[in-house]
Amino acid sequence: MGHMQTLSRRAFVFGSAAVAGGIAFGAYGRAEAAAPSAEGNPLAAGLGANSVTFNPWVEISPDKITLIAQHADIGQGVGSVQPIMIAEEMDLDPGQFEVRFAGPSPAYFNTGFKEELAPFLAADQSPEAEAARAAALESLRKSGLQMTGGSSTIPDTYDKLRVAGAVARETLKAAAAKRSGVAVADIRTQSGHVILPDGSKIPYVSLAAEAARIPPVLDAQPRDPSTWRMLGKPMTRLDVRAKVMGELQFGIDLKMEGMLYASVKLNPGKGQPLKSYDASKARAMPGVKKILEIKNGVAVIATNSWYAMKAVDAIACEWAPSAYPAEQADHWKVLESSFKPELLGKEWRTVGDVEAGLKRGKLVEAEYRAPYVAHQPLEPLNGIGLVTDKGMEIWVGHQSPQAVQAIAANAIGLKPEQVTFHNQWTGGSFGHRLEFENVRVLAEIANQMRGTPIKLVFSREEDFLQDIPRQIAIARHRGSVANGRIVATDLQLASTAPFKGLLERMGAPSKDPDPQLAAGTWNVYYDIPNFRATSYEAQGLSPCTTWRSVGASTAGFFTESFIDELIHAAGLDPMKARIAMCNVPHYRKLLETLAEMSNWKGPLGNGRGRGVAFVESFGTPVAEVVEVTATDRGIRIDKVWVAVDVGKVIDPVNFENQVQGGVVWGLGHAMNCELTYSKGAAQQTNYNHHEAMRIYQCPVIEVRGLENDPKVRGLGEPPVPPAAPALANAIFAATGKRIREMPFNKFIDFV
């Protein structure tokens, strides 16, 4: 139970408030016995007169209804679906409530991480696996960790937000019953009103004061999905109109009275300090108010962002050298020599006798590679900070509210509770907004500019240079085939450790093997009699972090390409063989559905080819077929079919958009993106060096959502991992060329 140890250490960092304050479980009344306590509900403190809060997600004042979105919206649509899950139960319509992002509180601890933290395969629903998940949940509860990530928003909130809404609805009905003398059983709710038997309507807001004086109805049950008005049906995301009309304010759009603008130049050798600098040119440039030295660089304060960026560009800096190798070739050398016992992460899973199996039949060996890749959401890192004698206020879009408090506080000698965090709508993340460089730097700058609100905007180039990339990895896979079957598979990879890196920067270092290096390697659901999955953790390389789909983004490519090689070596059809080997019935159904959707009939010929890949990540199985044509101008991606099983599709239109976006993300970066180092600095500093997919390369992407999984699953990340191997397998089918390294454009041209 190594992962639990990781968590308990993390709990030590973030959990003190949880232990001291108690956690509100008003909405959990059904499952947990804990009584709701006013101090455990973070909404209680800011409640106005004649207002009520039933739990950490619902607040009603005489003027308005506010629903709290605890998970950060990074474009994945959870700023919409979270409040709609509550509104479904409360009989509220869009437009009848406001949405506010949650502040930091252990009341918003993420229950969804229990699936990923329990050391069992996602498809394993045995009592032992469920017991481990229950134990993980308790550990999470103690930690109070509030974080958006791991495709966990829907798994975390599907039950609790619907229960939160049901508690609010039933308590409002009870308040109306008390006022009117009518039995609760004769009262219903509709469109923001309680409806009495005589047809008279009481708006929820007018019941707020009375509802506050009665105990919440904690045993309220969410409704059967068959009665849903909005969920599960095509609905419009709450943020779509404001985004289309240009009215939605992202973090970067905020402005404050008396605000000044900052831009930074930081040591491109990530994490290392500044040695010296010469700002004589910058001082004389237009709009410049001040030059500041900070721990790992310099900042310019100016009257607008552009003046600040131009001036900071003109500062000459001398940097301490990077702690990792200066040149990219040496990063690969370190990885190549990392397959050794002292760097063993873990042998994650062993079935049968792999060494004996490898001696039978035809041996297949292959080495695969995946480079560092940048996140680079289109909204660059930014934030507004204001430090006064009382503490710091920070306005920034981030996925870890408590960590923002801790990092900012640590940087300038405050206590975490002295940092007030206001989460923002963000222009994408893909894992970037789990890191802290903008937060730490902003705290340092605002602390030197006390009393003045400072808006920090990273230039795109600085954002690239400071981007803590996806892990770099090499796989050395072996397998054997005999009599038209895969006999043995020995999957080994050496990689930097993304999740451990993130934990370390959050102040909770772990000595346990990085579980993300198991993802995509150990969770192979094919009936292979001799199977082994092993990770090695390379040391001394670039810091790395979670990049949309994390470990599976690289390992999924390695595993599903190599399985394809074995299938071809065995003389089998890639789709039929996967279906035949699949040992989880509803995963097999997923592959069969994909075969039917794509009308899979084997080789296409004439320079056309199809590849298939199947990866489960974060508990969600996804299978994809990519079809390509080898043209005179290179490979053209013609069409993609995707089948995804999430147990329950909550928001169907957004579901399709997310899946298509995940495929575009997976394909685009596999085609043409890598981050390489020279002289300790990333060599790619804008999108022309790190382009991913543009519209002219985007194929038609046909999506189908299945609902056979016993659990409700997330899907922000799982569509990513199968895209790269399905493309590589398609290129092999079309050209006979097996590409074993990303990005593929190092080996083949794309149209």
What order of strands is seen across the sheet that includes strand 297-302? Answer: 288-294, 297-302, 260-266, 454-457, 382-387, 392-395, 419-422
Number of continuous H segments (helices) and E segments (strands) in the chain: 22, 27
- C-alpha dihedral (102, 106, 109, 114), degrees to nearest 10: 170
DSSP state of 125: -
For another protein (CB under 8 A), the number of binding residues is 63
Residue 305 sits in the site that holds another protein (CB under 8 A): yes
**DSSP helix/strand/coil, 635:** strand
Binding mask 452-471 toward another protein (x if CB under 8 A, else -) reads -----x-xxx----------
Strand, coil or helix: 349: strand
Least distance CB 700 / another protein (angstroms): 7
With contact defined as beta carbons under 8 Å apart, do 436 and 389 qualify? no
Under DSSP, is residue 75 helix (H, G, I), strand (E, B) or coil?
coil
Distance CA 157, CA 687 (A): 35
Residue 674 CB, nearest distance to another protein (Å)?
16
Determine if 306 is a binding residue for another protein (CB under 8 A). yes
Which residue number, 567 or 693, has a Cβ lying nearer to another protein? 693
Options 143-151, 238-246, 445-453, 574-582: segment touching another protein (CB under 8 A): 238-246
Q: CB 440 → another protein: shortest distance, Å?
A: 22
Largest CA distance in the chain: 81
For another protein, what does the binding mask look like between residues 376 and 415, x meaning CB under 8 A?
A: xxxxx-----------------------------------
- Residue 206, Cβ density class (10 Å: 0-12 exposed, 13-18 middle, ≥19 buried): middle
Rg of the chain in Å (alpha carbons): 27
604 binds another protein (CB under 8 A): no
Q: How far is the CB of 254 from another protein (least distance, A)?
A: 9
Cα dihedral across residues 169, 170, 173, 175: positive or negative: negative
Among left, alpha and beta (phi > 0; psi -120 to 50; other), residue 297 is left
Stretch that binds another protein, among 144-152, 239-247, 560-568, 607-615 (CB under 8 A): 239-247
Q: Decide: is 426 part of the binding site for another protein (CB under 8 A).
A: yes
- Joined tokens for residue 579: 């279906």
Query: Judging by DSSP bridges, how do beta strands 297-302 and 608-617 pair with one another?
Result: unpaired
Nearer of residues 491 and 646 to another protein, judged by Cβ: 646
HSE, side-chain direction, 13 A CA sphere, residue 308: 25
- If binding is defined by CB under 8 A, does position 214 make contact with another protein? no
Distances (CA, A) of 314 to 271, 283, 309: 22, 9, 9
Q: Which two tokens stand for residue 68?
A: 């709290």
Asked if 686 contacts 662 with a C-beta cutoff of 8 angstroms, the reply is no
Select the residue interacting with another protein from 428, 453, 609, 714 (CB under 8 A).
428
d(CA 508, CA 268): 24
Minimum distance from residue 644 beta carbon to another protein (Å): 15
User: Cβ 154 to another protein, closest distance in Å?
Assistant: 16
Smallest distance, another protein to C-beta of residue 701, A: 6
Near another protein in 651-680, by CB under 8 A? 653-654, 657-658, 660-665, 668
Binding to another protein by residue 148, rule CB under 8 A? no
The residue from 197, 286, 484, 571 that contacts another protein (CB under 8 A) is 286
Question: Least distance (Å) from another protein to the CB of residue 295?
Answer: 26
Q: Answer yes or no whether residue 216 interacts with another protein by CB under 8 A.
A: no
Do you know the residue count of the chain? 751
Given the complex with another protein, which of 251 and 357 has the nearer CB atom? 251
- Cβ 453 to another protein shortest distance, Å: 14
One-character DSSP codes across 139-151: HHHHHT-----TT
CA distances from 495 to 6, 269, 321, 322 (A): 19, 20, 23, 19
Q: Is residue 74 at the binding interface for another protein, with CB under 8 A as the rule?
A: yes
261 binds another protein (CB under 8 A): yes
Candidate residues 3, 141, 237, 476; the one interacting with another protein per rule CB under 8 A:
237
Q: Which is nearer to another protein, 402 or 426 (CB)?
A: 426
Binding mask 680-719 for another protein (x = CB under 8 A): ------xxx--xxxxxx-x-xx------------------
In the complex, minimum distance from the CB of residue 489 to another protein, in angstroms, rounded to a whole number? 32
Which residues between 75 and 134 bind another protein (CB under 8 A)? 75-77
Nearest to 105 by CA among 33, 36, 39, 149: 39
**Least separation in angstroms between CB 482 and another protein:** 41
* 34 vs 312: CA distance, rounded Å: 54
- What tokens appear for 580 in the block? 């035949």
Between 399 and 496, name the residue whose CB sits nearer to another protein.
399
Nearer to another protein, 297 or 377 (CB): 377
CA distance 17 to 36: 16
Q: Tell which one of 246, 258, 341, 605 touches another protein (CB under 8 A).
A: 246
Question: Which residues in this chain contact another protein in the complex, by CB under 8 A?
Answer: 74-77, 236-237, 239-241, 243-246, 248-250, 252-253, 255, 261, 286-287, 304-307, 309, 376-380, 426-428, 430, 457, 459-461, 653-654, 657-658, 660-665, 668, 686-688, 691-696, 698, 700-701
